[in-house]
Structure 1
Amino acid sequence: MLKKLMYLLIILVIISAGIYIFLQLYATNDINEGDEQQSKPVETNHEDIATAESFVSRIVTLATEGKIIDGPFQAGKSQMKEINDSFGEPIITDQTVLGDYTTYKNDVTVGYQKSLAFDLRSYNETLQQIHLSDIRNVQGEPDETRYYKDENVDQIILAYNINSNYQLKWILPNPTEQQPDPVVHHISVYTEPPISEEVLTLLQNMSLEEKIGQMIFAGVDGANYDQNAENLIHQYHVGGIIFNKKNFLSVDQTNQYVNKIKSENAAKPLPIFLGVDQEGGRVAKLPGALTPIPPSLQIGNVGSSEFSYAIGSLLGKEVKSFGFNMNFAPVLDINSNPNNPVIGDRSFGNTANIVSKLGIETMKGIQSEDVIAVIKHFPGHGDTATDSHLELPRVNKTIEELEELELVPFRQAIQEGADVVMIAHILLPQVDAENPSSMSKAIISDLLRNQLQYDGVVITDDMTMEAITDHYDIGAASVQSVKAGSDIIMVAHDYNKVTSAFRAIQKAVENGEISEERINDSVVRIIQLKEKYQLKDDQIESVDVNALNQQIQSVLNKHYY
């Protein structure tokens, strides 16, 4: 009996030991599985980057297209609406001199002007894989090194010019002895914004009166500088002055008059436009015994691009020699109506092809002398039977019909670098039944700006022409023209009409009819044009008419006679 009890006890001990060992093994196995789960890397949404240097190369490749790693958007091309639609509501928007900067929840900041993104910044945490040494190993030394420090950060900025369009900037903590090879804080892919900081600074320092003055191109009385001219420059701050036939008596008198205007304007923040109609043919305003340049129609009959360019260059030389910087030429109207009393031989011909080909070459010739060419008279004055100097012409054409003929030279000239477009005083009832083209949003903003994608300066034809004054108060007409999209209102005659236009626009801004932002848009274009041509109010020396005539004769002998 005792022996049986001992066997039973041994069996119980063995079973108990087995159970204990089993439980220990199970517990150990359970703990190890938990450790394995803990040690597994946390999955992220970031792409698998093989090495830091390959990541740098990828960022550089994206930057060549104006992109960052956080989306398909491009600096200089993407609009803020599409960015907002993709990234959602911004966290914060900061205003700077250069533009607004908006930050989103996905660690992206976008700098923009007029809804166009020009600076894409990524703060993506994957960038912290990249060290200063990685950047230099891939890209070498930067084109420019900058530093930024405030109470919160001390940073080094490595700027690389990726191509002619884009700059890639790496922003990192400034290296120290403790941290000689810092990691990236953020990157920026940057393109030049539509408006430079210099232009914006000029704009911010201008009074409302100075801004409106820049939008006025005024005529002056008589052949000498007088009190009215003094007021136009110093009280009304006009941005440009046009000389008409009555302002020219002689070469020397013109030199003195032009130099006086320039000296009076020299202390102003912006140089002054000085314009004249010097088309050749019957529209040639400059004084002196200049050898006549043939009218455009005769140049069109020759049909030579080289000749047309040379004529443009001669016109530019003439204008520049007398101290002017803007020529209201060439005419891009197609002479499609033989009864037209105002265009006629001022046109290069009666087909879109010849007017486009030769008119654009003439434009380029004028520009080659650092003189601003003004193409005219948009949207086309060739198919009129009345003179807008005397009454308001009507052209009963649709946009589609204009596209087939009248608009062709203007569209091509815009694509070839037209700086200024002059708007005609024409009523096109099938486009805008109420307003002449110089006062029509449908013509200036919808057709010229949006459809033809023109972003240069728009100037009206002379608002003292009877096409306007017989039907409208000049102040009201000027306000309507600005609202329609004009940048510059030309008032070529009558000091009182100039001041009326100025005051009407000023009042419209003050009472909210025109926003100051709308004024700023025009003034920016004007400043940019003056900067593009590096205009200065420098004095001119006496004009060598004989030298000009020799150059004219040489061109005519080669191409015309």
Structure 2
Amino acid sequence: MRKTEYKNRRRKFLIIFIGILSVVLAAEIGYIALLYNRDNSSSPDSVNKDMGLNTPSYQTDTEDTSAMTPAPATKPANTSEKPVQQSDNIKEQINSMSLDEKIGQLVIVGLDGYEADEHARQMIEEYRVGGFILFTSNIQNSNQMLELLNSLKNINRANKVPLFLSVDEEGGRVSRLPDEFLKIPSNQIIGKLNNSSVSHQVGSIIGEELKSFGMNMDFAPVLDINSNPKNPIIGDRAFGTGPNLVSKLGVQTMKGLQSQNIIPVVKHFPGHGDTSTDSHVGLPKVDNDLKRLRNFELKPFARAIENGAEAVMVAHILLPEIDPDNPASFSKTIINDVLRLEMNYDGVVITDDFTMGAIVKNYNIGQAAVKSILAGGDIVLVCHDFEKQKAVISALKDAAQSGQLPMDRIDRSVIRILRLKQEHKITDTPASTVDPESINKKISALLK
């Protein structure tokens, strides 16, 4: 009886011991597998797959896009923003800024006439705007233009942050500078030359022109591919009809501008070349999917980003295959998921002008501006109409105060803006004199 009881106890002990040992071994194996999966998933490719993104190469080594391996046509998943790099002094500056000062940095505006009028003064003193853009309606001659820019700087000197002073100076038919300057050839002409050195010189000369006036930003170069003969707005503004040529020459013009400490704003992301509607008049609709964009329109922008693009202008184009509800200029799919996450871009994103027909004929301008910042944009461009400018600023502030536009989202944009202004050492110091003759000699030499 005792021997049988001893055997039963021994059998129970062995069963319990084996059970405990099995549990421990299973836990160890699971922990090792967890470590293995974590380590392998930390690579960029694995992370992108988890987010529903891919990592296309955007190669531009050949114009024959049919020979390229097609990228998946899937839409990227909506994901959160990446962290924004910032220095300690920017962090301190952000913490010291009021809501009005932060909201103001999210807007660049235009002005009426040849002088800094009361509306311009109000935009600086009350609304703390981040910058101004000039058009031919603001420019009579070199002396007047210089005086206008210096007066804007003088008004802004009481503010903490210097102004972006910008213009559309592309060369060809899109030129705002005074008639004292010779005109730069169009991108189409530069494209036919197909000379990287000439393209770089064009950017450098334009940069020198703008720098002589004390400007610091140019909405150029155009990186659109002129692929649609019926396009009413791009045409000779493009370097050519293929991604390789546009990439090569566009990047060189961008670098030429940067060589003069002018910020280039490459445009019009994700590509305005295949539209048949002028976005100044209406809302263009393009039925290309993401696969097509990756293999064609996005290539020049990808090359520019690889080469240090600092600012990107996003177009008012509706791409129903990618985002059926929002134009690119306030589409989270286009701005955050494609441009920032997939293309790894952490620079400043600026919209095209919100007073264009594409916006004002189809959307509430204030609500659209809020959606643009929520989508990952940084600056809303409002080129005309003082009331519309106030409406955009008011909508952004109201959205911030209600919580619709989180302060973290605002701060990310302000960090990028301050970082760019600091990197270019932008100040409100007035410029002194302009010498068109010396620059015209360089333009003449370019044209020979």
Whether the 8 Å CA contact 1:438–1:481 is kept in 2: the answer is: yes
The answer on 1:535 being equivalent to 2:426 is yes
Report the alpha carbon displacement of residue 289 of structure 1 after superposing the two structures with TM.
Answer: 2.1
Aligned to 1:347: 238
Q: Could you tell me how far apart the structure 2 residues matched to 1:255 and 1:306 are?
A: 30
Aligned to 2:292: 401
Give a deviation string over 1:453-501, Cα, whole Å, max 9, x none: 1000000000000000000111111011111111000000011111100
The answer on 1:320 being equivalent to 2:179 is no
Q: Could you tell me how far apart the structure 2 residues matched to 1:115 and 1:411 are?
A: 18
The answer on 1:504 being equivalent to 2:380 is no
Letter of the 2:272 counterpart: H
Query: Secondary structure of the residue that 1:377 maps to in structure 2?
Result: strand
Q: Which of 383, 387, 403 in structure 1 is aligned with 2:278?
A: 387
Q: Which of 152, 163, 182 in structure 2 is aligned with 1:261?
A: 152
Q: Could you tell me how far apart the structure 1 residues matched to 2:173 and 2:86 are?
A: 40
Whether the 8 Å CA contact 2:141–2:180 is kept in 1: the answer is: no
Q: Could you tell me how far apart the structure 2 residues matched to 1:78 and 1:429 are?
A: 32
Q: Could you tell me how far apart the structure 1 residues matched to 2:313 and 2:261 are?
A: 19
Aligned to 2:356: 465
Report the alpha carbon displacement of residue 555 of structure 1 after superposing the two structures with TM.
Answer: 2.1
The answer on 1:289 being equivalent to 2:289 is no
Give a deviation string over 1:403-456, Cα, whole Å, max 9, x none: 111000001100100000000000000001011110101100111011111000
Query: Secondary structure of the residue that 2:313 maps to in structure 1?
Result: strand
Identity %: 47
The answer on 1:300 being equivalent to 2:204 is no
Query: Secondary structure of the residue that 2:170 maps to in structure 1?
Result: strand
Letter of the 2:313 counterpart: M
Instruction: Specify every segment of 5 or more residues in structure 2 that has no aligned partner in the other structure, as ranges.
Output: 1-37, 48-80
Report the alpha carbon displacement of residue 211 of structure 1 after superposing the two structures with TM.
Answer: 0.2
Q: Which of 239, 261, 281 in structure 2 is aligned with 1:370?
A: 261
Aligned to 1:329: 220
Q: Higher relative contact order at CA 8 Å, sep ≥6: structure 1 or structure 2?
A: 2
The answer on 1:515 being equivalent to 2:426 is no
Aligned to 1:218: 109
The answer on 1:208 being equivalent to 2:99 is yes
Give a deviation string over 1:83-134, Cα, whole Å, max 9, x none: xxxxxxxxxxxxxxxxxxxxxxxxxxxxxxx987xxxxxxxxxxxxxxxxxx
Report the alpha carbon displacement of residue 78 of structure 1 after superposing the two structures with TM.
Answer: 10
How do 1:476-515 residues align onto structure 2 when only pairs under 5 Å count? 476-515=367-406
Structure 1 or 2: more helix by fraction: 2
Give a deviation string over 1:350-394, Cα, whole Å, max 9, x none: 000000000000000000000000000000000001100000001
Query: Secondary structure of the residue that 2:165 maps to in structure 1?
Result: strand
Letter of the 2:143 counterpart: D
The answer on 1:442 being equivalent to 2:348 is no
Query: Secondary structure of the residue that 2:388 maps to in structure 1?
Result: helix
How do 1:107-146 residues align onto structure 2 when only pairs under 5 Å count? none
Query: Secondary structure of the residue that 1:284 maps to in structure 2?
Result: coil
Letter of the 2:111 counterpart: V
Structure 1 segments of 4+ aligned residues over 6 angstroms from their partners:
none
Whether the 8 Å CA contact 2:142–2:180 is kept in 1: the answer is: no
Letter of the 1:431 counterpart: I
State the TM-score, normalized to the length of structure 1.
Answer: 0.65
The answer on 1:195 being equivalent to 2:86 is yes
Give a deviation string over 1:211-230, Cα, whole Å, max 9, x none: 00001000111111111011
Q: Which of 160, 164, 186 in structure 2 is aligned with 1:273?
A: 164
Structure 1 or 2: more strand by fraction: 1
Letter of the 1:483 counterpart: L
Query: Secondary structure of the residue that 1:241 maps to in structure 2?
Result: strand
Q: Could you tell me how far apart the structure 2 residues matched to 1:329 and 1:368 are?
A: 14
Q: Could you tell me how far apart the structure 2 residues matched to 1:470 and 1:484 are?
A: 21
Query: Secondary structure of the residue that 2:133 maps to in structure 1?
Result: strand
Q: Could you tell me how far apart the structure 1 residues matched to 2:379 and 2:397 are?
A: 14
Q: Could you tell me how far apart the structure 1 residues matched to 2:336 and 2:263 are?
A: 22
Query: Secondary structure of the residue that 1:543 maps to in structure 2?
Result: coil
1:115–1:466 Cα change, 3 Å: closer
Report the alpha carbon displacement of residue 284 of structure 1 after superposing the two structures with TM.
Answer: 0.5
Query: Secondary structure of the residue that 1:228 maps to in structure 2?
Result: helix
Structure 1 vs Structure 2 CA RMSD:
1.8
Aligned to 1:411: 302
Letter of the 1:492 counterpart: C
Letter of the 1:553 counterpart: S
1:436–1:115 Cα change, 3 Å: closer
Q: Could you tell me how far apart the structure 2 residues matched to 1:518 and 1:524 are?
A: 10
Whether the 8 Å CA contact 2:114–2:144 is kept in 1: the answer is: yes
State the TM-score, normalized to the length of structure 2.
Answer: 0.81
Q: Could you tell me how far apart the structure 1 residues matched to 2:447 and 2:257 are?
A: 17
Larger radius of gyration: 1
Aligned to 2:321: 430
Letter of the 2:123 counterpart: L
Whether the 8 Å CA contact 2:82–2:341 is kept in 1: the answer is: no
Whether the 8 Å CA contact 1:248–1:287 is kept in 2: the answer is: yes
Q: Could you tell me how far apart the structure 1 residues matched to 2:351 and 2:280 are?
A: 13
Letter of the 1:199 counterpart: I
Aligned to 2:248: 357
